[in-house]
Chains A and B, each alone.
Chain A
Amino acid sequence: MCAFYKTLKEVPDEEYLARGHRLCAGCPESICVRLVTKAAGRDTIIVNPTGCLEVSTSLFPETAWNIPWIHAAFENGGSVASGIEAALKSMKKKGLLPKEGKTHVVVLAGDGGTTDIGFQALSGMLERGHDVLYVCIDNEAYMNTGIQRSGSTPFMAWATTSPVGKVLKGKMQQKKDMVSIAAAHRIPYTASATVGTGYWLDLMNKVRKGLDVEGPAYIHCLNPCPTGWRFNPDLTVEIGRLAIQTGMWILYEVYKGKMTVTARVSKRKPVREYLKHQGRFRHLTDEDVAEIQRQIDESVAEVNRLVGAEVIGPVQES
């Protein structure tokens, strides 16, 4: 059984992502990757499809990675990881690698490389049951190419390809529910996580659990992006926390078919508290905010129903 981190003092000191990388000041991906790799440890191979993380950490002749890392293309995180996992398995069986010890295979893919272009490869990997941990670092748009909308961009958010004007008001479609989609593949472990104050250990423990199961694990981690969401870079982890406190993002896991909410919220904040900080929602009217509130109330009710208890409480205006 894997070790669970109970306090921040148990977080390992070792850094697997070196300083000097070119991610923005305040970037959530670097925080996420630091924590994920600390939880995974030295014996880990990273598969990193195209995105902010990949270009900012591997610009030749410097690399920020202290662990083995491969970038192949944009849409094949799931398939490259499948190949690596199969190679390790085969080489171990043939005695080309020592049988003891386990090298983890972890995919770090953005929402573009997961929800949209990478969907097929991910689904194939999950269906075939490869022993890989797939972490979606979700900053809710194609940030690397300049903030274009993805399937993971939330309702009414501005992006350059879901623009706001007289006729259109941002993305009119809902955010694709990747956690449910992954869980529907009946894999041993699926979870949502966030880069947010107070939830670092929730993320790290989920990584440990995902690595511990035999077979595929999927973790979808919310990554509030100052550059794309338009907020001051010092608010990154606060926004990640507010997402949970308002019910905009719910932290849960599906472990061997059983769903548990891992971060109960007894007094839910109104969604306005989350939206008001972000420039990408600047155009919302009171009616728009009320509509988003209504949608969140519905999804919260659904989660409570699935879990069989009121784990996420009602909205309380402070």
Chain B
Amino acid sequence: MSGLKSYREIPIGAKNVEPGSSIRNETGSWRDFKPVVDMNKCIKCLMCFVSCPDATINPVTFGVDYVHCKGCGICAQVCPVDAIKMVEEVT
């Protein structure tokens, strides 16, 4: 169990003192398909931004945080102008 902290190094009493630290967890490794946004079709309606369970779509640039995107496909399903396609990732 290397790299794990001793009882003195963790916060006192069942708490976490690093808000938002889950960002360290790269959930993008979960997916098989990734969303690709076609900015020519995008009408910036924000339906994808609001429906993403992982808040990976930027409401200004409509870029996707691929480090965390789990590839659920909701954004592609909800887009009213079919601007998002789910593309299989080949690694």
Interface magnitude class on chain A: 35 or more
**How far apart are B86's CB and chain A's nearest CB, in angstroms?**
8
Q: Which residues of A contact B76 (CB under 8 A)?
A: 234
Does A79 sit at the interface, judged by CB under 8 A? no
Q: Are A62 and B24 closer than 8 Å at their CB atoms? A: yes
Q: Are B27 and A22 closer than 8 Å at their CB atoms? A: yes
Q: Are B46 and A62 closer than 8 Å at their CB atoms? A: no
CB within 8 Å for A62 and B22 given contacts A26-B53, A237-B78: yes
Q: Are B77 and A234 closer than 8 Å at their CB atoms? A: yes
Determine the distance from Cα of A69 to Cα of B1 in the docked complex, in whole angstroms: 29
Q: Are B53 and A15 closer than 8 Å at their CB atoms? A: no
Q: Are B78 and A25 closer than 8 Å at their CB atoms? A: no
Dominant secondary structure at the A interface: loop
Q: Which residues of A contact B74 (CB under 8 A)?
A: 26, 233-234, 236-237
Does B55 sit at the interface, judged by CB under 8 A? yes
Determine the distance from Cα of A197 to Cα of B50 in the docked complex, in whole angstroms: 10
CB within 8 Å for A20 and B46 given contacts A65-B20, A234-B74: no
Which partner residue on chain A sits nearest B27 by CB separation? A20
Q: Are A62 and B25 closer than 8 Å at their CB atoms? A: yes
**How far apart are B21's CB and chain A's nearest CB, in angstroms?**
5
Chain A contacts with B in 194-210, Cβ cutoff 8 A: 197, 200
Does B26 sit at the interface, judged by CB under 8 A? yes
Chain B contacts with A in 1-55, Cβ cutoff 8 A: 5, 10, 16, 18-27, 30-31, 45-47, 49-55
Determine the distance from Cα of A169 to Cα of B84 in the docked complex, in whole angstroms: 39
CB within 8 Å for A65 and B50 given contacts A20-B68, A238-B77: no
Determine the distance from Cα of A30 to Cα of B72 in the docked complex, in whole angstroms: 13
Which partner residue on chain A sits nearest B32 by CB separation? A25
Q: What are 21 A-B interface contacts by the 8 Å CB criterion?
A: A8-B45, A13-B59, A18-B19, A18-B23, A18-B55, A19-B56, A20-B23, A20-B24, A20-B68, A21-B25, A31-B51, A31-B52, A60-B10, A61-B10, A62-B16, A63-B16, A232-B73, A234-B74, A234-B86, A235-B77, A238-B77
B binding-site residues for A, Cβ under 8 Å: 5, 10, 16, 18-27, 30-31, 45-47, 49-56, 59-60, 65, 67-68, 70-74, 76-78, 86
Closest 8 CB pairs of A and B: A234-B73, A26-B72, A25-B70, A18-B20, A20-B25, A20-B22, A64-B22, A30-B53
